[in-house]
Amino acid sequence: MARRASSQAQPGKGSKADPAAELARFLKAHPGTLHVDAFLPDMNGNPRGKRFPAHEAAKIWTGAVQLPFCLYFLDATGEDLDPGGRSELRGDPDGNAWPVPGTLVPVPWAPEPTAQVLLTMPEQANQPCLVDPRQVLGQLAQRFANRGLTPVVAVEMEFYLMDRKRGSMGEPLPPISPATGAPDNARQLYSIAGLDIYADFVRDVAATAKAQNIPASTAIAENSPGQFEINLTHCADPVAACDHAVLLRRIIKSVAPRHGFAATFMAKPFLDKAGSGMHVHCSLVDDKGRNLFDNGKEDGTALLRHAIGGLIATTPEAMLLLAPNLNSYRRYKAGALAPMAPSWGYNNRSVAFRVPAGAAKARRVEHRIAGADANPYLALAAVLAGMLHGIEKKLDPGKPATTDVSGEIDRNTPFRWHEAIDKLRKAKVLPQYIDSGYLALYADAKEAEMHKFNAAISPQEHAWYL
């Protein structure tokens, strides 16, 4: 079980230790370091920040790094659309960013000796609501801690390797196989030979993850050509688990070009191939480390079923956090392995909330709805909010599915972008667990992004209507 207890600590002033001691130790171990990249993940999980010369990097640890709050709610193209008048109308204010303890690491793919550190903004007093997804999730994790509960979490993300070139319409192309030199069109689910073909890439990702203290583990060749999954180990700190996911995504996208590929976590880059999901595994332990979902039997405890009942109840409101953009909704298709109903079951991959088989001590829920394009902090916040709601209300999930339910569609769950935005705006339960101001900001930001997307003329419109 990977732990990083310091992720929930408030960094910065007030610490008895030298705040720059981490930097001093790092530079002593890596004396040739020229730059330090300091960044925070935005609403879409993309890194935003600054690059400092190593000799000026100490300011990062003294709170002297100021970044505009709007970085947290930029759209997918990196533009500030001033959602709800929260940036430009307020003078585009800055906030003080602090380094997340334990995240200062080397950047092996950089052309010059470089380090990176993750930033967060714990002090947001001059904002109308929280804007840092780490803090949004951290507040929810604290509510579990107040009940003597700790979520133990692992995030799994699927992704595609692609050719670095694009098609004539800008569409992605399959990767060039290192084995044949031709486009890879082989479907190799769980194929060891498929992993062997891309072994240099997989090894480089593993080595880079180790250098950056990211607990990456199993690598899997997934359901389509060039599709893979590299898992993360379970972590008894929800925020740290999402730090791992964000940083692993950065590793994969940065290492891929060194091997002649591009990598994407787009939910549905190819219409005729499998989508890429983000599966979240979660159990709950008490202050003695006991798994509260484990009763020594296959069915698990009543607490497990209550948690699933809450996930079922909150799924319609939570969809926009799990599927953040237009392409996200192309992944949902009846009969595929992307659930279209908040179903549950034991050892059944067709359901939304799966209780995996295996040792009773590892009893957990696997949440299978989110796309790989979701912000891990916000997706996990949606998962934990649902679980806590079910536990507090002792909700009954109903009977588990024992057959293939992948063809079932829940008409109350929004599977279109605009419907998900509207459902979140009208949410009644989710705001009881996730900052209501942040949910309103998120809905405003996604609606602005949707209007911007719809304002463009697509090539298909020209093909059909010109």
pLDDT in tens, 186-232: 766 556 666 788 889 999 999 999 999 999 987 777 668 889 999 99
Q: What would the CATH number be for the domain defined by 21-124?
A: 3.10.20.70
**Other Cβ atoms closer than 10 A to 80:** 18
Q: Which residues pair with 53 in a beta bridge?
A: 35
Phi–psi pair at 46, nearest 5 degrees: -90, 140
Position 19 confidence tier, pLDDT thresholds 50, 70, 90? low
pTM, whole model, 2 decimals?
Answer: 0.94
* Cα–Cα nearest to 304, from 242, 353, 347, 232: 353
> How far, in Å, CA of 114 to CA of 52, rounded?
10
pLDDT in tens, 416-458: 999 999 999 999 999 999 999 999 999 999 999 999 999 999 8
> How far, in Å, CA of 172 to CA of 20, rounded?
44
Which helix (H) or strand (E) covers residue 455, if one does? none
> How far, in Å, CA of 69 to CA of 89, rounded?
13
Query: What is the widest separation between alpha-carbon atoms in the chain?
Result: 68
The arithmetic mean of pLDDT across residues 399-414, rounded, is 94
Position 18 confidence tier, pLDDT thresholds 50, 70, 90? low
Question: Which of helix, strand or coil describes residue 18?
Answer: coil
pLDDT in tens, 248-281: 999 999 999 999 999 999 999 999 899 999 999 9
Give the pLDDT confidence score for residue 449 in this predicted structure.
97
The domain locations on the chain are 21-124, 142-176+227-458
> How far, in Å, CA of 10 to CA of 20, rounded?
15
Encoding tokens for residue 247? 């940083």
Amino acid at 390: G
* Cα–Cα nearest to 252, from 286, 204, 293: 204
pLDDT in tens, 320-365: 999 999 999 999 998 887 899 999 999 999 999 999 998 989 999 9
Q: Judge whether 173 and 162 are in contact, CB under 8 Å.
A: yes
Superfamily of domain 142-176+227-458: Glutamine synthetase/guanido kinase, catalytic domain (3.30.590.10)
More confident residue, 200 or 14: 200
| Cα-based distances in Å from 71 to 50, 369, 451, 453 | 12, 27, 20, 19
